[in-house]
Chains A and B, each alone.
Chain A
Amino acid sequence: MKNKLGKQTFQFPLKPRIIGSCSIVGEKEGKGPMAKWFDIILEDDTFGEKTWEKSESKMLKQALLLALQRSGLEKDQIDSMLTGDLINQLMPSSFMARDLSIPFLGIYGACSTMTESMILGSMMIDGLYASNILIGASSHYCTAERQFRMPLEHGNQRPPSAQWTSTAAGGMVLSANDKGDAAVTQGQDVKEIYITHATPGKIIDAGIKDVNQMGAAMAPAAVDTIVRHLMDTQRAPEFYDLILTGDLGLIGKQIAMDLLNGAGMDVANIYDDCGAMMYFESQDTHGGGSGCGCSASIFSGYVYKEMRSGKIKNALLVSTGALLSTISPQQGESIPGIAHAVAVTTEGGN
C-alpha cells in the first residue's frame, strides 16, 4: 500500500498537473457574483440547439475543447477522457464524446462528478496508464428540471430550502508533463498546479427524505470526507488556504460549518461552498446552486485562475453528490450523500 495514506487517502507521487481549464456557464450564472471568473457566459441557455440535452452536451464539449486548446496539447495526445453529468444514461457526456474519438469513460457521481473524475484521472496518470487526461462535468437547469422535477413552465412555488441546478460546465486537462496553458508557454509568471492527494468518500445517509433538502442530505458526507482527509494526511485545516465544497448551498454550508466546528475545527475563514457562491440573493434561487456544473465551473474558473496567479496556494476541493434517483424518493428512500476530496497545491513541485 505504497501510495495510500491512512484509511481512505491516496497520494500521487508523480503529482499530476492541471495544465488547462475552461468553464462555461448559463445566462443566470453569468449574472451572479462569480461571473468574472468564467471563460464563457451563454447569452441563451439553448446554446443554439433544439433540445436542452443537446445544449448541455455542447457546453461540456466546448469546455473540454477549450481546456485542451489552452493546454497547448492536440486531441490525439489525450489518452483518455472522463466526464459525467446528471442525466439518465449520461446522455450529455456520451453524446459529447461520440465524435471526438478519444477513449471515453463516463462516470456518475451525481454532483460529485468533478472531483471523482479528477481522482480517477490522477490515478491513471500516477499509475502510468496515461500522460494526458481530459476531465469534466456538466449540468443544465432545464435538463435537470425536466428529469427530476416538473416541466419548466409548470407553475409552482419552491420551498426556501430548494436549490437551483446551475447551468454550467467545467473541463480540465490533467497531465504528467509540465508546460501547458498558453500563459505558461508565453513565459508569463504563473504557478503550476499539482494534484497531490485525494480522498474518495463513503456514502453517508443521514436519513433525509426531503428532495428539497439536498444540502442537508450531503453535508454529513462532506464533513466526513474532510475530517477523514485531514486525519489521513495529518494536516491541520489551516494547511489549506481554501476548503471548498461542491453544492451544499446556503443551508448545507451552515450545517457543514457547524458540524466541522463540533469536530473541533475552526474553518470560518477558509471554508466556502460553490453552491453558496454561485448566485446573488436577489437572483431568488432560495438555497443556492447545485449540480455537477456548479463545482466544475467554479473549480475550473475561480480556483484554477486564483491558483495560477498564486493567490491560492493550497486548496481542498470537495465536490458533493446526492445519489438519489428519480424514483427513489417515491419509494420512500432517504437520500445517500457522498463527497470526494482532492488536494491541489502550487507548492512543492518536483
Chain B
Amino acid sequence: MASKEKELNNKPKKEVAKKYEQYVKQFTPRPKYFSNSLKAFLVGGLICMAALYIQNMLVDKGLSEKSAGAYVTVILICLAQLLTGLGVFDTISKFAGAGVIVPITGFANSMVAPAIEYKKEGPVLGIGAKLFSIAGPVLVCGISVSVIIGIISYFMR
C-alpha cells in the first residue's frame, strides 16, 4: 500500500533535486553582481540628478516645488514611454538594470511594453486586459505593504 502511494506521488525526490542543484551550480556562471550594481547606481543616479536639475529649473521659473515635482514625474514617464516605443528602452535596461527599472521610468516601461505587445489581440481584450499584467502585481503588493507599514507607523506614534 505504501509503495502504491509513493508511486502516485510523482514528485522528484527532494534530496536528489538538492544534490543536482548543487552539482549544476558549478557549471553556471554567476551574475556579475558588483558591476551590475555599479552600472545601476551610476545610471539611476544620473536619472535622479537630471530630474532634480529639471525640478530646480522649473522652481526657478516660478513653479511651486510641489507642481514642479509633478511635472518632472510626467517628463520622466513620457520619456520612458517614448524610448520604449522606439525600442531603445530594453537595450538601455539590459545595461543599466535596476538603474532604470526602479525609478518611475521602469513603471512607465512596464505599462507601455504590454500595450505594444498585445495590441494585436484588440484594444479591449488585448491592451485593456494586459496593460497591467506587469505593473498590476507590483501595485497590489506595493499598496498592500504600504497599508501595513501605515498601520505600524500609526501605532508607533
Seen from chain A, the residues whose Cβ lies within 8 Å of a Cβ on chain B are 50-51, 146, 150-161, 205-208, 213, 216, 220, 251, 254-255, 258, 334
Closest to A213 in B: B24
B55 interface residue (CB < 8 Å to A): no
Please tell me if the beta carbons of A206 and B12 are within 8 angstroms of each other in the complex.
Answer: yes
Please tell me if the beta carbons of B117 and A151 are within 8 angstroms of each other in the complex.
Answer: yes
* Known interface pairs A51-B120, A151-B134, A207-B13; 4 further A-B residue pairs with C-beta atoms within 8 A, sorted by A's residue number: A154-B90, A155-B109, A156-B101, A255-B27
Query: Which residues of the other chain, A, contact B11 by a CB distance below 8 angstroms?
Result: 334
Quick one: given A50-B120, A205-B12, A207-B16, are A161 and B28 in contact (CB under 8 Å)? yes
Instruction: Count A/B pairs, Cβ under 8 Å.
Output: 95
B2 interface residue (CB < 8 Å to A): no
11 A-B pairs whose Cβ atoms sit less than 8 Å apart in the complex? A51-B120, A152-B90, A153-B90, A153-B112, A154-B113, A155-B89, A157-B94, A157-B97, A207-B21, A208-B17, A251-B27
Quick one: given A150-B113, A151-B117, A206-B16, are A160 and B29 in contact (CB under 8 Å)? yes
Q: Is the interface of A mostly helix, strand, loop or mixed?
A: loop
Query: Which residues of the other chain, B, contact A205 by a CB distance below 8 angstroms?
Result: 12
Quick one: given A151-B113, A157-B36, are A208 and B90 in contact (CB under 8 Å)? no
Please tell me if the beta carbons of A160 and B113 are within 8 angstroms of each other in the complex.
Answer: no
Please tell me if the beta carbons of B29 and A161 are within 8 angstroms of each other in the complex.
Answer: yes
B62 interface residue (CB < 8 Å to A): no
Q: Nearest 4 pairs between A and B by C-beta? A: A207-B17, A155-B93, A151-B117, A154-B113
Closest to B25 in A: A216
Bitwise, B87-99 to A at CB < 8 A (1) or not (0) is 1011011100100
Please tell me if the beta carbons of A154 and B134 are within 8 angstroms of each other in the complex.
Answer: yes
Query: Which residues of the other chain, B, contact A255 by a CB distance below 8 angstroms?
Result: 23-24, 27
Quick one: given A213-B28, A251-B28, A255-B27, are A153 and B113 in contact (CB under 8 Å)? yes
Please tell me if the beta carbons of A155 and B100 are within 8 angstroms of each other in the complex.
Answer: yes
* Cβ < 8 Å to A, chain B residues 123-143: 134
A153–B93 Cα distance when bound, in Å, is 10
B44 interface residue (CB < 8 Å to A): no
A79–B93 Cα distance when bound, in Å, is 50
Quick one: given A157-B97, A206-B17, A207-B14, are A151 and B27 in contact (CB under 8 Å)? no
Please tell me if the beta carbons of A208 and B21 are within 8 angstroms of each other in the complex.
Answer: yes
Query: Which residues of the other chain, B, contact A153 by a CB distance below 8 angstroms?
Result: 84-85, 87, 89-90, 109, 112-113, 116-117
A208–B19 Cα distance when bound, in Å, is 11
A205–B93 Cα distance when bound, in Å, is 34
Quick one: given A159-B31, A160-B30, A161-B28, are A207 and B12 in contact (CB under 8 Å)? yes
A68–B118 Cα distance when bound, in Å, is 35
Q: Which of A155, A160, A207, A251 has the most CB of B within 10 A?
A: A155
For A151, give its contact among B16, B93, B116 (CB under 8 Å): B116
For B109, give its contact among A154, A207, A258 (CB under 8 Å): A154
A155–B110 Cα distance when bound, in Å, is 8
For B31, give its contact among A160, A206, A258, A334 (CB under 8 Å): A160
Query: Which residues of the other chain, B, contact A152 by a CB distance below 8 angstroms?
Result: 90, 113, 116-117
* Cβ < 8 Å to A, chain B residues 68-106: 84-85, 87, 89-90, 92-94, 97, 100-101, 106
A51–B24 Cα distance when bound, in Å, is 37
Q: Which of A150, A153, A205, A220 has the most CB of B within 10 A?
A: A153
B18 interface residue (CB < 8 Å to A): yes
Please tell me if the beta carbons of A146 and B36 are within 8 angstroms of each other in the complex.
Answer: no
Q: State how many angstroms separate the Cβ of A95 from the closest Cβ of chain B.
A: 14
B155 interface residue (CB < 8 Å to A): no
Query: Which residues of the other chain, A, contact B117 by a CB distance below 8 angstroms?
Result: 146, 151-153
Please tell me if the beta carbons of A154 and B29 are within 8 angstroms of each other in the complex.
Answer: no
Quick one: given A160-B29, A213-B28, A255-B24, are A155 and B114 in contact (CB under 8 Å)? no
Query: Which residues of the other chain, A, contact B31 by a CB distance below 8 angstroms?
Result: 157, 159-160
A154–B13 Cα distance when bound, in Å, is 36
Please tell me if the beta carbons of B27 and A254 are within 8 angstroms of each other in the complex.
Answer: yes
Q: State how many angstroms separate the Cβ of B45 from the closest Cβ of chain A.
A: 18
Please tell me if the beta carbons of B118 and A151 are within 8 angstroms of each other in the complex.
Answer: yes
Query: Which residues of the other chain, A, contact B27 by a CB distance below 8 angstroms?
Result: 216, 251, 254-255, 258
B20 interface residue (CB < 8 Å to A): yes
A220–B87 Cα distance when bound, in Å, is 38
Q: State how many angstroms separate the Cβ of A313 from the closest Cβ of chain B.
A: 31
A160–B35 Cα distance when bound, in Å, is 14
Query: Which residues of the other chain, A, contact B118 by a CB distance below 8 angstroms?
Result: 146, 151
Query: Which residues of the other chain, B, contact A213 by a CB distance below 8 angstroms?
Result: 24, 28
